[in-house]
Structure formats: C-alpha cells, structure tokens
Amino acid sequence: MGDFPLPRIKDFIHTVVPFDTLREEDLTRAVSRMEIAYFPRGEVIVRSGDAPAQFLHIIKSGSVKVTLTDDAGNEMLIDLRGEGDCFGAVSLLQGVKALFDVTAREDVIAFLLPGEYFRRLVETYPTFKRHFSFSLARNIQASRRANQAPGSLLTGGQSLGLDAILGRSLVSELMTTSVLACAPVTPVKAAARRMTKQRVGSIIVEDQNGLPLGIITDTDLRVRVLAGGLDADTPVTEVMSQPMRTIHTKAYAFEAMLEMIRHRVHHLGVTEGERLVGVISDHDLRVVTGAAPVGVVRDVDKISSVDELELIHQRLDPVLEMLLRLGGSAEYMLELATEFNDSLITKILELSELEMEHEGLGRAPVPYAWLALGSAGRREQALRTCQMNGLIFANLPEDRWRKTQGWFLTLAKRAVERLTQAGFPTCPDGLMANQPGWCLSEAGWQDTFLRLIEEKDICVMPHSGPLFDFRCVHAEMDFCEPLRQIIHRAQEGNRQFLARLGRLAPGERPPLGFLREFVVDKAGQYQARLDLKLSGLQPVVRVARVLAMEQGLKSTSTLDRLAELARRGILNERFAGDLREAFSFITLLRIARHLESRAAGREHDSQLDPASLSAVQRKMLKESFAVISQLQEFVEQRYRAQMIA
Amino acid sequence: MNWGLARLRNKVLQLRLGGRSLDPLARENLHALEGLRLDSPAREHNFVVMDLETTGLDPTRDRVVSVGAFRLVQGRVRLGEVFSELCNPGRDIPVESIKVHAIVPDMIKDARPAWEVFEDFLAFIGTDILVAHYAAFDIYILNLAMKARTGFGLQNLVLDTVEMCRALLLRPDPYGVYGDFRKCGLDQLAEEYGLEVPERHTALGDAMTTALIFQRFLQRMEQDGEGSLRDLMRIGSMSF
C-alpha cells in the first residue's frame, strides 16, 4: 500500500495551512497518523486548565469558538475557527495546560494529529514553526529577562504566542505586591517621600477599615501638585484619583488592559475579595505586550511641536492591531481611535493658535469649535480616511464678520495642513474647514443646514448626509446642541426631506449571491472583489442616520443610534442587536484589512478578496449581509408608506 | 444475535473443539469474547468498520471484488489502521455490478484471490467488534472464508448500523407499516448528517461513511446515558 488509499482526505489536508508546504511523503505519513473525531454541537472539546493537549485538531467541517470565562462567569470570545483551521497548537508545543475553552458551535468533524508527530513537523519545517509561532513566546520571555520591551515583535505577524501570553498571564502574576497605603489625612509631602523611598509609582489612600478610597500616582504628583502649585502639606485626598478602579487577581492580563482603556487610567487596584493585594499598571502590561494602549491617547497630549505629528499615528496602529488580535470589540477600537483623533485635533488647534499668537495675529476673536463631520463625526474614523470637517464660531456683528472669518480660515488652513501631515489625506470634494463655505458663524451654519433640508435636487442629497453627523470637538462653547435642535424643528416642518433621504438610504444591495457562489466554487478563479464600505457599512450608516434624525436623537455614532432606536421600539431589539453585530464585524474586518495592507506597504482600499477570508469569516460576512439586506427592505417599506401618507 | 446467544454458541464451540490443536488465528478468534465486560463503556472497545464490494447481491453465488475497513479506537477513526484491497473473484464481473463499484476486470487481473486477501483481513480484524451497514450480508461472506480457514464461523461480536439507525432514529414500527426504514440507507444517513461522502461505492469509501455514522450513533447513545457495551449490544446487534 504505497499511497494513501483515500485521496480526498489527503487533498483536504493539503489545503490546510501550513500542511500545504509538506513534501508528498511527509503529507502521506501525517495523514496516516491522523484520527477522525466527531464532536456534537455544544460539546466542550477542550476545557481551559485541562492537561496539555495530545493532538493538534484540524477542523474538517463545522466550527468552534475559543473562549475564556472570567470569575464572574462572563464568557469572552477569543476566536472562531472553521473549516481548515487548527486548534490546540500552543498547549501541544509548550506542554502547558489548555489556555482556553474550545466549544463546538456546530457539529464538528476534526482530524486529530498526534502531538509527537506534530512536534516533529514543527522541528523539520520552518513553515510550521513560523505558522505556530512558538518562538514568539520564547522571544518575549527572553526579552523580558533582558529587560527590553519587545515592541517590534508585536507587528511581526505572529499572533498566537502573544495571545497566549496575554491570555494566560493572570493579573496576580504581573501585579506589584509591594503596595503602599496611607491614611486620608496624610500630607502629599509624606506620601511622595514614601513613594520615593520604596521606589514605587503609586500609593493607595485607604480609610480606617482598609478599604481603598483612591490612588495617587507619580503623574498626579507632577500634574496636580507641582504644576498646580499646591502646597506640599495638602492632604492626599485632595489630589488623589478616585474612585480607584479595581480588578480581581484571577482576571487575565488583557482584561486589565481593556479595563484601563475603558476608564482611561494607568493603574488598577488588584483585589482578592474585598482586600487590596496589589496594584497593576499599564507599565506592567507593557512589559508583556510591548505597546501601551492606555498611554497611546496621552502620548498625543505630550506633543510640544508640530514636527512630532508625523510620527504620531504610528503609535495607534500597533495598539489597534493588538486589540484586534485579542478579540477586542469594534466598539472599543472605534472609541480608542476617536479619543486619539480628538486629542490630536485638539493638540493641533492649540499649537496653531499659539503659533498665530506668536506671529502677532492675535488670539481667537470669538469662541469657536471644530466640527467633526462624516465618519469622524460619528466617532467611527478608525482608519485614516480623508478629512471631512468644518469650523463654527460665535455670532458677531456684520461689520466684524469678514475679518473674523479670515482669522479662523488661517487657523483652519494650518489645522488641515497638519492633519494631512499626521496622515489624514485631504478630501477631494473640498469639504474641509479651510474652505470659506465650511468655516462659518453659528448663523451661517444654520443657513447652510436649512438650505440642505429644502434642497430638492436628488443628486446633491446623498452628499449632504455625512454633514448631518456633525459633532463639536475642542469646543469653547456648546454650538452643536442648539444647531441640532434647529435642524430637528426644520425637518419636522418638512416631512418630504426625511422621506427623500430615507428612500436614498438603502443604497447598494449587499452581494449575497456573490458570496454564496464563492463558497461553492472554492477552487475557481475569482477576479471580483467586494467593497466592504459601499455595500456593507454605508447602508447601515445611512439608515441609522435617517432614523436617528427622524427621532431627533443626539448620538451620532451608528452603534449608539441603533441601540437607541431599539430602546424606542423603532427597530426590533433582536434585529438591532444583529445589525450592531454585523456592523461591528464588517468594521473589524475593514480595520484588519487596512492594517494588513499598511504593513505590506500597499495603498488601502476597502476592496476585499473573499478568497483571503477563512471559512468562518466568510460565513459571518454572509450572515452580516443578510441582516443588512433585511434592514434595507425595512427602510424601503417605511419610507414608501410615508410618501403615500 | 444478542450477547447471551453469542456467549452460549462460543461456549459450545469451545467444548466441541476441546483439545484439538488450532493455529494462532483460530485460537485467538475462539477466545474473542473473553475479557469483554458488559458494563464497560462501549467507547473503550476497538471496532473494525468494514464494507465489501461484490459481483452481486446473492451471497451464495456472488464473490467479493474489494475489501475495505477502518479501525476505531477510543471512538476515533484511525486513518493509519486501514485495510483496503481489491481481490480477484475468480469469475466474471457482471456489468450491473460494475455500474455500482466501477471495478473493471482489468483492475483486478493482478489482484490476489479472495481467500488470500481474507487470510490477511481476518488477521486485521483480530478480536475487535465488527461493524457494517446491513451486516448480515458481509458477515455471511466473511463467515464462509472463516469456516473454510478454521472450520468454524467468526466468534466476534457484530453490530449493524442499520439496526442502530432503526433503534435510534426511527419511530417504533413493529409491523413495518411506515416504511421509514428507507431512511436508514447509507446515502440517506450521510445526507442527514451532512457527511461529505468520499469515494462512495468503493469498499473503503463506504467503510469510512459507515464509520462516521457509527461514530455519531455512539455519541448519541452516550448523550442518552446509554454508553455501555450492554446498551450497544442491545441496540445494535446484527439480526439474522
């Protein structure tokens, strides 16, 4: 029996990465060492904490989810794997206990390759070694010993080991246990002295029962005490950050990371029950991750000259990439990117104002705000897509108007230029604050919006949509809320406007058939590509916008709008949930594509080649498109009815 | 045939053969039932899932052209423990059967005669529990070979996936009025479970499909709390 008697099985294994690189005889040998196992839907195939794996699992059909469960019983999705994907490699290679739960999402048939033979392949084939990236984990450990931040490894395209490290490391392993604590009445001077003596970066303020009230860090001392000109005898309670965010000892390192991002803090108290047993800082995490997601937003604040702008965006990408790999939600990523971009534009405006003052052009003549429009306005600009912005300033008498606009146009011109420098290309249709038409007083903007609402030209309308997603950044006065109210009143008096916008909203139909065919004809050549933005995100954005305007919602972000629409009963709650999922999934996919093409030095477009997706991703994309197409039908019905009424 | 009957027949046979000297294969098979514990988990036993392709459906006249089998250990199909061989039936191959298994005379002209192939196949089976779809047919032919070789029939336990299907999937039908049994065909079951059928109507391909179906049945019984060898014998024993 020279050849393996079941060619189809061998053919299948030959399509699995990295088995596709095996020499013929090794492939035959590998296949004849395999066993076929069946796991019914819902079965937990691997339980975290189980003995080290015996087999590498290769999924033949069905899909599994890889999850972590925290102490509170919350399940966290790490990954989905489907046809042709593997699991169990890390545990096999490192001989450690299973790190995650692996559960069958559907009935699963898997090929099991015994660990011993798998390890031999990893030793013989560099492709195996690279793919399963065992070396990364060792590198990180080594560099940790050498006390070097392993930052560059993060972008090396090897994810498994890093996931494992962050997923496996418990907070208790990374935290600092030498916790300093002091009473609320302690003077700042005494607290600072103890911190210096013990060489720690923080001190906890406790009440008489030992419960943490707040925390003082090096930064607090510098910013609030020194820079704030406070007396050294001020009690610690006046400068501490509170409440102190805490996390349990048994939480995983990346949960701590997400907690820090969520609350924008650098330190978390680590508790066991009620008791405080340690402190974990973003520096502790940086040691294992190499990038500091928490610090990335604050890095922007530290910029002191315009020359530093050019490098700044290089800090955001690795963090997004890491979040992506750790299964961070789209919401987090958009939130983080928005926070980053907002700090950036604020910084740019501050620097530009300062510059103008030095040049003798004086300060801003009246209060103003930067208007983020389009995706920036919706808090969805995770990628550096083209700029869309405006500037709004307080009303003032006619005779001063021209000069004032001149000053703001100079400011806006510099700001737009610097945003370009920071990586945001200019907008081809000129929708930017440096154009006289988009640098207006409050009254000017009101006129503009009222004209847009009266506009009947069907060609103009689709372009005006993103304008209605405006949001004020770096606002010295709240210009946006009054403006929103005026718009809402105007559109109430003109139902035709929403009806027209509603009918335009559905846009292109998602290419369901395209994907379906694709799944069938896996081997075939497909030149066609898929536009994630045009047929995936845009319809959802537009529909959410028109419904939000109809309801007079304040929020501009699509995910928030959908949630709010469900609360108001406009959308069925489950449907809205599905839509949010679909929107998040496509957003994540788009961010991933973008980072990939950036890493490869390619120009980014939102075109996607379905062949580059895994089976599970294709399936989820298909499900997402199905939901979106339902939404399109829904909105078509709704506004057709309104027209008749 | 249930467990009690199999045991009884085996005891009688052992008595009858008494002190006669047997070759190793016959001796091993004679003691196939020893050490089997009815309350042990079914999954712990080894199974050989087999299929034969023949020149026709009359076991008294037709001959085997191909043998395929896999071994299941711990409920998993071992791709390395495979038996797959064509055999020379020693007669012409009817066109009707070629349409089914696509084995043409040219392919088997260098194949070994069936009795030689069976010699090896019986050794491959050893004392493992046999599993086949419509087992009676395959066992009849296998028994002929065994009897010719040792003077007695196979002593191994035999399971029929058709019986298991009827017991596990169909509604009770003692008078055979529903005609549901058609749902227990290999193709129907493969479709029911969404199995991609590899090389259907080759002995090895069908043995694989049967093995994957048997795997599901085993799993299903365990889920229902019927995972012992006793349960398996009650539900899946081949009927004559």
Model confidence at A511, in pLDDT bands (50, 70, 90)? low
Burial of B213: CB neighbours in 10 Å, binned 0-12, 13-18, 19+: buried
Nearest by CB to residue A35, choosing from B76, B193, B208, is B76
* Domain limits for position B157: 3-32+41-236
| Averaged pLDDT, A561-583 | 90
What was the ipTM of the complex prediction?
Answer: 0.90
- Nearest C-alpha of chain B: how many angstroms from A57? 13
Between CA A94 and CA A98 the distance in angstroms is 10
Beta strands per DSSP E along B74-190 = 76-88, 112-113, 129-132, 158-160
Residue B232 above 60 pLDDT?
yes
**Reduced to 3 states, what is the DSSP secondary structure of residue A251?**
coil
Mutation for testing the A interface, residue in B51, B72, B79 having most A CBs under 10 Å: B79
Per-residue model confidence (pLDDT) at position A167: 54
| Averaged pLDDT, A102-126 | 91
> Could you give the maximum distance between any two Cα atoms of chain B, in Å?
52
Between CA A88 and CA A40 the distance in angstroms is 18
Nearest by CB to residue B212, choosing from A31, A38, A40, is A38
pLDDT, tens only, B89-118: 888 888 888 888 888 888 888 899 988 999
Per-residue model confidence (pLDDT) at position A177: 80
Chain A contact residues (CB < 8 Å to B):
1, 4-9, 31-38, 40, 61, 107, 109, 111-112
User: With b meaning 16 or more CB within 10 Å and e meaning fewer, what string describes A76-95?
Assistant: bebbbbbbbbbbbbbbbbbe
Between CA B203 and CA B85 the distance in angstroms is 9
- Nearest C-alpha of chain B: how many angstroms from A51? 18
Indicate the number of domains in chain B. Answer: 1
Radius of gyration of chain B (CA): 18
- Nearest C-alpha of chain B: how many angstroms from A32? 4
Per-residue model confidence (pLDDT) at position A368: 94
Residue identified by tokens 């001959």 is: B63
Model confidence at A614, in pLDDT bands (50, 70, 90)? low
Model confidence at A164, in pLDDT bands (50, 70, 90)? very low
Domains of chain A plus CATH, in order, are 7-132 (2.60.120.10), 171-284 (3.10.580.10), 297-493 (3.30.460), 503-644 (1.20.120.330)
Q: A276 - beta bridge partners?
A: A271
CATH of the domain at B141: 3.30.420.10
Between CA B143 and CA B153 the distance in angstroms is 5
Model confidence at A524, in pLDDT bands (50, 70, 90)? very low
Per-residue model confidence (pLDDT) at position A233: 86
Per-residue model confidence (pLDDT) at position A561: 94
CB contact under 8 A, B75 and A37: yes
